[in-house]
Structure 1
Amino acid sequence: MSKQRNRYEPKSNMSRIDPFAIDFSALRTLVLVHDTGSFSAVATRLDVNQSTVSYTIERLRKAFQDPLFVRQGSGIAATDRCREIVVEVREMIGSFEALTVPRAFDPAKASGTISLSCNYYERLVLLPDLLKVLRREAPGLHLNIHQAFGSGGQQLKQGDSDFLMGPIRFNDAGLFKRRLLNDHYVCIMDRHNPLAEKQLEIETYVSANHAIVTYGGNWKSQFLLELEEQGRSINQVLGVPSPADLGRILKGTDLIATLPSRMAAPLDQEMVIRPSPVPAPFEIDLVWTSRTHHSPMHSWIRQELAKIAAGIPDVSKIGE
C-alpha cells in the first residue's frame, strides 16, 4: 500500500514562486500561524476565510521551498526551517512597522490604544500612577490591560499586547527588556496571631497555617518554587485565586500569608507584617518587541513607566 501523503508535506514537483512577490501581509500571516498553531484562529483574527490563510501559506511554501507546517496529532507543528524564518521575519515586520510611525510625538495630541499584559502586582503598584500620567499628559491615549499569567509572552509576540510587565522568566531573542523594580516576599497575619510577636524561623514558617495565593493555578510564586527546591512543603489551609481582600480574610484567624512586600505594605494598618524566612527576591521587568521599539509613542510610555518605578519607595525595610 502506498504511503498516503500528508497534506502539509510539499509535493515533489512544487514550483517555486519569486520570493520578492511575497508581501508583508503574507509574512505577518506566517508569523501568526506559527504563534497560534492554527489556520482557523488566524483567519478569525484577520477576519478572512480560512481558505485565504491556506492559500497564503501555500504561496509561502513555494517561495521558501519548505512545508513550513506539518501535521502533528490533531494540530500542526512548525518545521525547523519555518522557525528560523519566523525569527527573521518577526524582526523585519517590527522594523517595517517602525518606519511607518511618525517620529514627532506630542502626548497632548496623541490618540490610540496602549495594550499591556500584566498581573495583580503590577496593576496594584504601577498602573494607578501610569493612568494618572495618561489622563494628565495624554488624554487621547487609552489603556487596555490583559491578564498575563503564563500567556503574557504569547500575547506580546502575537501583537495582542504592546508591553509585558512582570517577573519575566524568559529571555527570547528579539525582545527588549528594562528593569523597573526589585522586590521580595514578606509575611502578613492578624495582630492577635500567636506568631505575630515571633521571628519566623523556617521550620515554624512551613508548619504554620497558610493562606496561599494560587492565581487560579496559572502562576506559582517564587517563594513556593524555592521551598520546592529545598524539598519542603508548606502547610496550606486555604487557597485563594487572588491577593484581593487577603487582609479581611486573615483577620481574626491564625493563618499567615506570604506576599510581595509592596503588595503587603498597604495592609500595615490592619495586619502585622514580618520578614519571611524565604524572601525569594524577584524583579519586575518591562518587555517589548521590535514592533514598538522605535515608536515614539511607545518610547514615551516606557520612559513614563521608568519614572514611576524610580519614584516608588524602597521596600527593603518593610516588615522589619
Structure 2
Amino acid sequence: MKLLMKTARTNLDIAAMRTLRAVYANASFSRAAEKLGVAQPTVSYNIARLREVFQDPLFVRQGGQMVPTDRCIEIVEEITDLTDRLDALVAPRRFDPAVAATRVIISCNYYERIVIMPRLIRMLRRDAPAMRLHVIQSAVEGGQQLSRGESDILIGPIEVDTESHFRRTLLHESYTCVMDPENPLAASPMTLEAYVEAPQIIVNYGGTFRSRFLVVLEAMGLSPNTAMEIPSPSDIPDLLRGTDLIATVPSRIARHFGATVASCPCPVDAWIDINMYWTTRTHRSAAHSWIRDRVAQVAGEVG
C-alpha cells in the first residue's frame, strides 16, 4: 500500500497540470477538453490521476459548474508559474510574421477596442495576415484571466500584481465631460460646483475597480450626483440624447463619440495609465514579443 501511494504521488506530469489549470479556468470538463484540443475522457482521466496524487476531489459539481476545492485553488496557484515557464521553454524562438498563424488572445474593454484595436488589426492584416486575434471582455477580471491562461495579453487601466506579471505603459489619459449638445451646461466651461450638481451617468465596471476621477472626487470630500449606472461607456451618446445628464469618460472616448455629444474638460484633475500586461508563459515567445511590440507601436501612434 505504501509503495502504491508513493507511486501515485509521483505520477504527475505537465499534461496533467495543464488539464487541472484548464478545468479550473473553464469550470467544465468539456470546455477544458475543447480548449486543450483533447477528448473529454482524457480530461477525466488526468483529473482522476491528480485526485489520487493529491488525495483530494479537486472539483465538486455545483449547479452546472465544476467548483474547485480549497486544495485545488492552492495547487493551481503553485503550478501556474511552473507551467508558464515550461511553455516558454518550448515556444519557438524564430518567428516570421508573414506566414505565422499564431493565435493571440487579448483581454480588454471598450476603451482599448476603439482606441487601439482598429489600428492593430489594420497592421496585422498588412504584416501578419495569417495571425488570428481573439479579443475577450476583461471587465474587472483581466488579471485573473491572464493568470489562468485565458488570455495572453491584458490591456487596460487596472493595476495588476507586477511581481508575477510584466507591464508596459501604453497611454496616459485624462477625462472629458460629455452631454447632449442641447444641454445648457454645454454653453460654458464646466465648473467643479456645476459638475457635482449635474445629474450624471456613471460607468460602473464592477468589482472593486473605480474610475480615477471618482477616487479623486472622494479625496476632495465630494461625490457625483449619480442618476444612472451602466457597465460600459459604449451607449452613452444614446443615453444622453434629449436629457440634462452628463457623463465623465476618458478623453479619447469622448473624441470617438464625435458630434453626437458636446464635450468640455472635466474639472476634476485626474489621469489614468493604460497598461499592457503579460506573464512568464509568453514573455520569451518570439511571436508574442512581436505582437506586444506592435501593440505598443500603434498605441504610440494614437493622438
The two structures have a TM-score, normalised by structure 1, of 0.78
- What percentage of residue pairs aligned between the two structures are identical? 39
Q: Deviations over 1:148-173 (max 9, x none)?
A: 10222232222221111111222154
Alpha-carbon distance in structure 2 between the residues aligned to 1:41 and 1:248: 37
Partner of 2:49: 56
Contact 1:70 1:79 in 2 (8 A): no
Quote how far apart the aligned CAs of 1:210 are.
1.6
Quote how far apart the aligned CAs of 1:222 are.
2.8
Alpha-carbon distance in structure 2 between the residues aligned to 1:70 and 1:86: 12
Contact 2:145 2:151 in 1 (8 A): yes
Partner of 2:301: 311
- Supply the AA of the counterpart residue of 1:77: T
Partner of 1:199: 189
Alignment of 1:152 with 2:118, yes or no, is no
User: How many pairs were matched up?
Assistant: 296
Quote how far apart the aligned CAs of 1:303 are.
0.4
Look at both structures and tell me which one has the larger radius of gyration over its CA atoms: 1
Once the two structures are superposed, the pairs formed by residues 17-32 of structure 1 within 5 Å of their partners are 17=7, 21-32=11-22
Partner of 2:106: 116
Quote how far apart the aligned CAs of 1:52 are.
2.2
Contact 2:22 2:35 in 1 (8 A): no
Alignment of 1:78 with 2:93, yes or no, is no
- Residue 196 of structure 1: SS of its match in structure 2? helix
Alpha-carbon distance in structure 1 between the residues aligned to 2:116 and 2:200: 27
CA spacing shift, 1:226–1:253, aligned 2, 3 Å: same
CA spacing shift, 1:12–1:20, aligned 2, 3 Å: closer
Once the two structures are superposed, the pairs formed by residues 263-274 of structure 1 within 5 Å of their partners are 263-274=253-264
Partner of 2:249: 259
Structure 2 residue corresponding to 1:94, chosen from 84, 96, 100: 84
- Residue 150 of structure 1: SS of its match in structure 2? coil
Structure 1 residue corresponding to 2:129, chosen from 123, 139, 152: 139
- Residue 254 of structure 1: SS of its match in structure 2? coil
Quote how far apart the aligned CAs of 1:33 are.
5.2
CA spacing shift, 1:19–1:290, aligned 2, 3 Å: farther
Contact 1:70 1:78 in 2 (8 A): no
Where structure 1 has 5 or more consecutive residues not aligned to the other structure, the ranges are: 1-10, 314-320
Partner of 1:300: 290
Contact 2:30 2:40 in 1 (8 A): no
Structure 1 residue corresponding to 2:271, chosen from 241, 263, 281: 281
CA spacing shift, 1:35–1:225, aligned 2, 3 Å: farther
The two structures have a TM-score, normalised by structure 2, of 0.82
Quote how far apart the aligned CAs of 1:104 are.
1.5
Quote how far apart the aligned CAs of 1:269 are.
3.8
Alpha-carbon distance in structure 1 between the residues aligned to 2:92 and 2:34: 30
CA spacing shift, 1:88–1:258, aligned 2, 3 Å: same
Alpha-carbon distance in structure 1 between the residues aligned to 2:259 and 2:32: 50
- Residue 283 of structure 1: SS of its match in structure 2? strand
Structure 1 residue corresponding to 2:151, chosen from 151, 156, 161: 161
- Supply the AA of the counterpart residue of 1:56: R
CA spacing shift, 1:22–1:249, aligned 2, 3 Å: closer
- Supply the AA of the counterpart residue of 2:54: R
CA RMSD of aligned residues (A): 3.3
Quote how far apart the aligned CAs of 1:202 are.
2.8
Alpha-carbon distance in structure 2 between the residues aligned to 1:52 and 1:263: 49
Alpha-carbon distance in structure 2 between the residues aligned to 1:297 and 1:33: 26
Where structure 2 has 5 or more consecutive residues not aligned to the other structure, the ranges are: none
Q: Deviations over 1:8-30 (max 9, x none)?
A: xxx99982237664210122234
Alpha-carbon distance in structure 2 between the residues aligned to 1:68 and 1:293: 33
Once the two structures are superposed, the pairs formed by residues 211-290 of structure 1 within 5 Å of their partners are 211-215=201-205, 217=206, 220-228=210-218, 230-290=220-280
- Supply the AA of the counterpart residue of 2:49: T
Alpha-carbon distance in structure 2 between the residues aligned to 1:148 and 1:114: 15
- Supply the AA of the counterpart residue of 2:105: S
Partner of 1:170: 160
- Residue 244 of structure 1: SS of its match in structure 2? helix
- Residue 202 of structure 2: SS of its match in structure 1? strand
